[in-house]
Chains A and B, each alone.
Chain A
Amino acid sequence: MANMTMIEAIQSAHDSAMDRDERVVVFGEDVGFFGGVFRCTAGLQEKYGSTRCFDAPISELGIVGAAIGMAAYGLRPCIEIQFADYVYPAYDQIVSEAARLRHRSAGDFTCPLVIRMPVGGGIFGGQTHSQSPEAIFTHVSGLKTVMPSSPYDAKGLLCAAIEDPDPVIFLEPKRLYNGPFDGHHEKPVVPWRNHEAGEVPTDYYVEPLGQARVRRAGNDVTILAYGTMVYVAQAACDETGIDAEVIDLRSLLPLDIDTITESVKKTGRCVIVHEATLTGGYGGELAALVQENCFYHLEVPIQRITGWDTPYPHAQEWDYFPGPARVGRALQKAMES
């Protein structure tokens, strides 16, 4: 075990995966010599050589397109899109190609590929460095979509994603890279070295895709969250004194519907929290599934606390971000009825 930030854990996942499987190759903008703008691939080029970890031209569609070709050849590319906000030029390659290859060729060709990208705001990134586009991936058949919320999960889930025989979208909440940020931007973030989830095995291990984790056990209300919102939700529980059960989904697709159903049937109340915009967001899918599975157990309407349906602003970042106060109000509202 070692104490790691989420960045170090992601770097360690690459290192462990590359060490055990020479088919794993890593590339993207600035990921080679420099080790990535967030340092998630630091030292890999030096250790594994410039044909297994290298810089790419600034072309997201080229990066993904080339990686699909490599995956079809038999390699295991794990590629970085520098910010999720930059992934859109590659969307056709992801949707029409990576996601469809196994099905359309009836297994003649497959696409074992991981596409990593930092998501979320809280770093004064404005609209081009803050978005959370998970719903445009969960909507696509053939993709798996994962978002870890701790160094331990980041390494285990990334190793599992690299092993996975299908394309995996691996979303990294960049506000969690250095600590479990709970939405209190006025205070310094607690570093991962003071958090139990910052304890990470140095050896290879996997956390299976498709399993949620109960981050906080509780009886009054179920909070469904992922990424940064896991800690925001926990802060809201602490600040309101409401005994909520916080479920960290970790994998949006496949989704651990059993853990969700079990919890909501127990609490009878459900609040869904995500940083992405509301309309057409993944929260809508979760709300639908909760009512399909738990309708007769629900005491109050399901609430969704999310980013507003606006572009992610710069100066008004904290007015956009669904922080602990908003989540806390939703919890109180859920308990009022």
Chain B
Amino acid sequence: MSKAQRLSLHVPAPKVRPGDTPDFSGVEIPKAGEVRRPDVAADPRDIRDLAFSVIRVLSRDGEALGPWAGTLTHDELIEGLKHMLTLRIFDARMLMAQRQGKTSFFMQCLGEEAVACAFQRALHKGDMNFPTYRQAGLLITQEYPLVSMMNQIYSNEADPIRGRQLPIMYSAKDYGFFSISGNLTTQFSQAVGWAMASAISRDTKIAVGWVGDGSTSENDFHAAMVFASTYQAPVVLNIVNNQWAISTFQGMAKGGSATFAARGHGFGLPSLRVDGNDFLAVHAVAKWAAERARRNLGPTLIEYVTYRAGGHSTSDDPAAYRPKEESDEWPLGDPILRLKEHLIKEGAWSEQRHAQTEAEIEDDVMSAQKEAEAIGTLNSGNAPSPRDMFEGVYAEMPPHLIKQRQEAGY
């Protein structure tokens, strides 16, 4: 009788925990400019290597290198830098406002600003993003009013969505920004459906889906990939791999697959992996994928390799599960500093202009905050009327809700 081997369960764990020395030796980073740029009409089968590398443009010395460089002018890059700075300063002020009790909750984009800010520049008016809670850069890049964002965060009388959603769950149809759910990944198949509708209607608009590394585990991710692949929908599917899903490291969602981008191969999708902290690279890849969708060549999957430098939300303390110094050790650096250094190297920017710009943005954000707070904060009593809670459940209020509204005293 043979002796059967006893089995054991594999439970992945990050290499380091609080108190350990950060270790990113497993993150392979090719030199800037090394990864090829295939034709937009390339057959997905011929570009599988792009899912296993990292497309990078900005070198450690701040130079723009290789075939993906050159999609933005200096002026456009300066504008992009200003948007990233605005987002960072906005986040810092709103984080503080939450700590001061002016609202219940906040989520910042710290360290990931380049992803949404650079991506949005590849879109046209009328295209539709289906964002997660960490793509506020899509709005800021379009210069959506900061005060409207703050009104939403404060759930005050001027909140465009009437105090109905958690802070930062914006909705802005005119800015191609789909209502954020708060449930993870549900928006991914919706983005594909929106893109299918555009194709059914013989329109020219494209859709963009957004998820994080952790939520690629959801069924919705796979359903979206099947639908995108089957109907060759004009959609760009974005995975923002910021390494952490609250306290869960990205290896828990990635399992045995080599990269998140490689998940696209089973669906026959062109799958690209890009340095998410490299503004130039993100824009170049976004432009490639958007053009592919616009030319009816079908969907593209993109993984942005970045790092969530802050907590998941104001309810989270990353010091409890990862080394405090990990963020500083992240090998792809900080997106704002990298773009700033590039522009200085190019002679298009200076420390002085940067400092001056930062001060101007601080002023703008502060005056927007004053304006929003004059209308009200969550605890100041200027919330939309409770009567409003009953509105918009349906286009027309059915009798049972009218009765309940009256019972509630409104």
Which residues of A pack against B, CB within 8 Å?
25, 51-52, 56-57, 59, 61-62, 65-70, 72-75, 89, 92-93, 96-97, 100-110, 141-142, 144, 165-166, 210, 253-255, 257
Contacts and interface: CB of A to CB of B under 8 A. Distances in A.
B395 interface: yes
Interface of B: 128, 130, 160-162, 164-165, 169, 171-173, 178-179, 181, 183, 186, 188-201, 207, 219-220, 222-224, 226-227, 230, 392-395, 398-400
27 contacts: A25-B197, A51-B200, A57-B227, A57-B230, A59-B223, A61-B223, A65-B188, A65-B190, A65-B220, A66-B193, A69-B130, A69-B195, A70-B200, A72-B178, A72-B190, A73-B197, A75-B197, A75-B200, A75-B201, A92-B183, A92-B220, A102-B392, A102-B395, A104-B169, A108-B171, A109-B171, A210-B398
Contact of A65 (B128, B179, B186): B186
Given A25-B200, A106-B392, A142-B394, A69 B164 contact: no
A102 B227 contact: no
Nearest to B389: A103
Contacts of A108: 160-161, 171-173, 179
Contacts of B172: 108
A203 to B, nearest CB: 26
A93 B186 contact: yes
Contacts of A109: 171, 173, 178-179
B237 to A, nearest CB: 13
A-B complex: 6 closest residue pairs judged by Cβ atoms: A69-B193, A65-B189, A66-B193, A62-B223, A73-B197, A69-B190
A69 B192 contact: yes
A296 B296 CA distance: 67
A66 B226 CA distance: 11
B139 to A, nearest CB: 13
Contacts of A105: 161, 171, 173, 179
B190 A107 contact: no
Contacts of A100: 181
A329 B336 CA distance: 77
Contacts of A61: 189, 219-220, 223
Contacts of B393: 102-103, 141-142
B199 to A, nearest CB: 8
A70 B226 contact: no
A278 B285 CA distance: 56
Contacts of A255: 400
A104 B165 contact: yes
Nearest to A52: B200
B201 A104 contact: no
- Residue among B130, B222, B395 having the largest count of chain A Cβ atoms under 10 Å: B395
Contact of B394 (A25, A52, A102, A257): A102
B171 A74 contact: no
Nearest to B223: A62
A165 B394 CA distance: 8
Contact of A106 (B161, B224, B227): B161
Contact of B196 (A70, A104, A253): A70
Contacts of B179: 101, 104-105, 108-109
Contacts of A73: 128, 193-194, 197-198, 201
Nearest to A89: B219
Contacts of B186: 65, 92-93, 96-97
Contacts of A75: 197, 200-201
B197 A103 contact: no
Contacts of A72: 128, 178, 190, 193-194
Contacts of B219: 61, 89
A106 B162 CA distance: 7
A161 to B, nearest CB: 13
A103 B162 CA distance: 9
Given A69-B193, A103-B392, A254-B399, A62 B224 contact: yes
Contacts of B128: 72-73
A138 to B, nearest CB: 11
Given A69-B190, A69-B197, 6 more contacts: A25-B200, A57-B226, A65-B192, A93-B186, A253-B400, A257-B399
A139 to B, nearest CB: 13
Given A61-B189, A108-B171, A97 B399 contact: no
B220 A103 contact: no
B161 A70 contact: no
A316 to B, nearest CB: 33
A68 B223 contact: no
A166 B195 CA distance: 21
A55 B358 CA distance: 54
Nearest to A107: B392
Contacts of A52: 200
A110 B395 contact: yes
A65 B399 CA distance: 29
B171 A106 contact: yes
Contact of A69 (B165, B196, B394): B196
Contacts of B194: 69-70, 72-73
Contacts of A106: 160-162, 164, 171, 392
Nearest to B169: A104
A69 B161 contact: no
A48 B223 CA distance: 26
A69 B220 contact: no
A22 B83 CA distance: 41
Nearest to A27: B196
A267 B196 CA distance: 53
A48 to B, nearest CB: 11
Contacts of B191: 69
B369 to A, nearest CB: 22
A66 B225 CA distance: 11
B239 to A, nearest CB: 17
B231 to A, nearest CB: 8
A210 B160 CA distance: 31
A31 to B, nearest CB: 15
B197 A74 contact: yes
Contacts of A25: 197, 200
Nearest to A109: B179
Contact of A254 (B207, B230, B400): B400
Contacts of A254: 398-400
B181 A96 contact: yes
A67 B189 CA distance: 9
A98 to B, nearest CB: 10
A14 B62 CA distance: 60
Nearest to B395: A165
